[in-house]
Chains A and B, each alone.
Chain A
Amino acid sequence: MATDSADSVVQKDRSMVLQKNMIAEHFKRLERAPESGEPVVYTFVPGNLTELIRSFDALPLLPEINALQSGMRGKSKDYIAEAERAGHSEDVCTYVKCDIGMLKSGNIGPTGTKLPKPDLLLLSYTGCYTFMKWFELLREEYDCPTVFLQIPYQGDGELEPEHRKYIVDQIEADLIPAMEKISGKKYDEDKLKHHLGLAAEAEDDLVAVLHSAKNRPSPIDSYFGGVYYVGPIFSAFRGTEEGVEYYRELRKEVEARVAAGLGPVTPDGSLDEQDYRLVVEGPPNWTSFREFWRMFSEEKAVVVASTYTKVGGTYDLGFRHDPSDPLGTMADYCGGCYTNLNMPSRIDMLVNYIKDYSADGFVINSVKSCNSFSAGQLMMLREVEKRTGVPGAFIESDLVDPRYFSAANIKNRLESYLQMIDARRQRTAS
């Protein structure tokens, strides 16, 4: 979900410029919010109800995105240290500590503007325990209401009807009244439907972009490039006109690359010659993002599918926002985010990606911060290998704590892994 910024522009396509401007504009609006009176809603990427927020003319702000941006801008180390000095354990999620450290250091956002205080903390509890504590912690800093929206986990591999009902009940009983209160506006179902329709339109184009990786060469990198592609739809722009335009443009560009037989643009230029097609599970490391990417691109490895780019919605598995059932569709959306899927479903997803995208291998990047992702990944590794016959690689890092990124260690494993794939290919060929 990278959504920056002049210093790390990796492609100079029009979509990139659009994205940059959209984000800059959004943060400017956020900065002006205390004067303009636009209500600000803090919420999380998985299970974000952007269309509903927008339907009340409120602005979403996503602390995870701020944390990862702080990581990319080299600020997270100090922010984390600040939070640990204030009594936070070194054992826990670094997104939280980074966010709290940023708050304690003046709350300057990723584009250099001051972030407004929240009018509402919308705790969309979607597949991550830490979210709950994060907003309990933020609540101590801000005098504003908190709405807790519990999204039941898909423990049996699906969102059961009772669970869907529970989510809808909460939206009706708690969230809508809270939004009406902070915005002073009545709930407008038609307006919500309009935003949901726009969301579905952008989702169609995003899925076409993700599916384009089935081509050889793949015109996109679905992990390192993917985090840029999902930026707008995961953050503040799903269900907006700008979002629709961005994805229409992105799709056009990707289709042009397919037609021209080009690969994705990486920090070292276009990766047209692709020796390895990989699937990746787990979030990236943000503090050494480009160095990490380069470890793949230098070996001519392209990522054709990733699970991380599904934390804000599993559109490529078929979900679309449906304006004809506004509250129900929001419940379905929340329930289906990747973080909310059980282990068997996550394994199925990886197995299918490996088959559908003709991958040569898969890499699990296990991050220390995130138990939701990491606990059980070693079993996933074993199961996916067993079911596909494709060997997997296991590397370890962290989200935004630079102390947990050992470049030599990761490079060693990755190289060993790709050489192993090579040796096996040569064996099969001879």
Chain B
Amino acid sequence: MRCYVGIDLGSTTTKAVILGDDGGILGRGITNSRSNYDLAAKVAREEAFITARFGLLRQEVEAAAGTELLERLLKAFRMSQTLAQLERTHELIAAEVEHTVAERLRKSTLAVVEDMIRVIADEEVIWFEDPDPPARSDFFRDTAGSAYMRLAEERGDPAGVSFDLLVGLYDKCIIKVENEPLELGFSDHIDAALARIGDPLVVREAVEKAAGTEFDEVSCVGTGYGRARLPFPKEQIRSEILCHGLGAHAMFPDTRTVLDIGGQDTKAIQVDGHGIVTSFQMNDRCAAGCGRYLGYIADEMNIGLHELGPLAQKSTRTVKINSTCTVFAGAELRERLSLGEKRENILAGLHRAIILRAMSLLARSGGIDDEFTFTGGVARNPAAVKALRDLTEENYGDRTLNISADSIYTGALGGALFARREAQGS
């Protein structure tokens, strides 16, 4: 099967999208960018191929056994991956204990760790088997990490092993786990997944058929912040500006203006009716007003990044914030708090302030035309979206604002479209 790959190497996450000959999306993958760009690109790509295979599988299994069985298989597959990573974490921690922990503590430490890993594995199984599981991060580092911290707090001291030691071990080893090319491939985990759901014959046959299909990768285009580090020849690299424009056009064909707010930068892009960029502006070297700014604020308030937006939405008024400088953000926040201002009202002001920065970039690039598409990590923040909606309305009047649930893949999708466009010579 002929296919085309786009990889978007962002500062925080790396995304991959696979397109078929007809331009339809076959698969998508995402992973932490870590410090190893090659590996991140490899993992994201592999994951995209896995979802592509599951895509093929879906048709077969749905016809033969219905969606429910397919969903169970998919979940079982992910669980198998997760358990393998957990096992690897355990191995590394054990080795670390042997090397670094004083002998008198070794035995008790190993016992606590083993106990904790077992509990986490059990909890993972429960989560995966839950038909309606609670929402959580997509990344192993976060899910395993939060369970590990909780357990370390509960079980460390009673067993005479300090919390700090346990956390130190985890922090050291999780980096290695993330930086090792763990075998996440389709064939390695599919058997385990099949076994876990009882190995029904109809599913096995469908699996074998899908597994047998060869993906013929015709071409690949890389993009994103770290694109120059991708192991690709120069001709296969496109600027993320162009990819975002084309990707947004593919998602919403009437798009004329695109705003992307990522971790490190903000981009305002104008595209024509074919998704070709006609003008763009990026924030200057100062990262004021980017996603990173919200990260600082979340740290300062000691809450999770994803909690910021919902908290800001509870505001009763919007406090005027003048500085979107990451350096001053903390000071301004503390001063407002000390004056008795409510957290949610300050947060509403902070969200408005970062969107104001984006508005000036949009104005520089040529304004906001209809339709208007918002992408990037900050597009998932409801308070930022509300501020953008308000300011767009105030300054440009009625505009259709598009936000895709898959907006994080916009750049990778654009890359894959470039790959396909070039290969097909259109």
Contact = CB atoms under 8 A, between A and B. Distances in A.
Q: Please determine if A and B sit in direct contact within the complex, based on CB atoms under 8 angstroms apart.
A: yes
Interface of A: 378, 381-382, 385, 391, 394, 396, 404, 406, 408-409, 411-413, 415-416, 419-420, 423-424, 427
B317 interface: no
B280 A416 contact: yes
Contacts of B277: 416, 420, 423
Nearest to A403: B285
B272 A420 contact: no
A423 B249 CA distance: 14
Contacts of B239: 412, 415-416, 419-420
27 contacts: A382-B364, A391-B279, A394-B364, A396-B284, A408-B228, A412-B239, A412-B282, A415-B239, A416-B239, A416-B242, A416-B277, A416-B280, A419-B239, A419-B241, A419-B242, A420-B241, A420-B242, A420-B276, A420-B277, A420-B278, A420-B280, A423-B242, A423-B276, A424-B276, A427-B272, A427-B274, A427-B276
Contacts of A385: 279
B242 A396 contact: no
B285 A413 contact: no
Q: Across chains A and B, which 3 residue pairs bring their CB atoms closest together, nearest first?
A: A416-B239, A416-B241, A420-B277
B281 interface: yes
Nearest to A366: B284
B90 interface: no
Given A416-B241, A419-B239, A424 B285 contact: no
Interface in B247-279: 272, 274, 276-279
Given A413-B282, A424-B278, A427-B276, A419 B364 contact: no
Nearest to A424: B276
B238 interface: yes
Interface string B216-250: 00000000010010000000001111100000000
B362 to A, nearest CB: 13
A271 B282 CA distance: 29
A378 B284 contact: no
Nearest to A391: B279
Nearest to A427: B276
Contacts of B364: 378, 381-382, 394
A404 B242 contact: no
A405 to B, nearest CB: 9
B285 A411 contact: no
Interface in B270-307: 272, 274, 276-282, 284-285
A169 to B, nearest CB: 43
Interface residues of B, number: 19
Contacts of B285: 396, 404, 406, 409
Nearest to A430: B426
A73 to B, nearest CB: 24
A401 B272 CA distance: 38
Given A378-B364, A411-B228, A420-B241, A394 B281 contact: yes
Contacts of B281: 394
Contacts of A381: 364
Given A416-B241, A420-B241, A424-B276, 20 more contacts: A378-B364, A381-B364, A382-B364, A385-B279, A391-B278, A394-B364, A396-B285, A404-B285, A408-B228, A412-B282, A415-B239, A416-B277, A416-B280, A419-B239, A419-B241, A419-B242, A420-B277, A423-B242, A424-B278, A427-B276
A396 B282 CA distance: 11
Contacts of A415: 239
Nearest to A381: B364
Interface in B17-70: none
A413 to B, nearest CB: 6
Contacts of A411: 228
A406 B278 CA distance: 25
Nearest to B267: A416
Nearest to A421: B277
A373 to B, nearest CB: 16
A423 B277 CA distance: 8
A381 B284 CA distance: 15
B369 to A, nearest CB: 15
B61 to A, nearest CB: 41
Contacts of B241: 416, 419-420
Nearest to A415: B239
A91 to B, nearest CB: 13
B71 to A, nearest CB: 40
Contacts of A391: 278-279
Nearest to B282: A413
Contacts of A416: 239-242, 277, 280
Contacts of A423: 242, 276-277
Contacts of B272: 427
A412 B282 CA distance: 10
Nearest to B364: A378
Contacts of A424: 276, 278
B358 to A, nearest CB: 16
Nearest to A413: B282
Nearest to A420: B277
Contacts of A412: 225, 239, 282
Contacts of B240: 416
Nearest to B244: A416
Contacts of A396: 284-285
A411 B225 CA distance: 11
Nearest to A397: B285
Contacts of A408: 228
A150 B326 CA distance: 42
A385 B364 CA distance: 12
B266 to A, nearest CB: 13
A406 B238 CA distance: 20
Contacts of A406: 285
A427 B249 CA distance: 15
A371 to B, nearest CB: 15
Interface string B347-378: 00000000000000000100000000000000
Nearest to A408: B228
A423 to B, nearest CB: 5
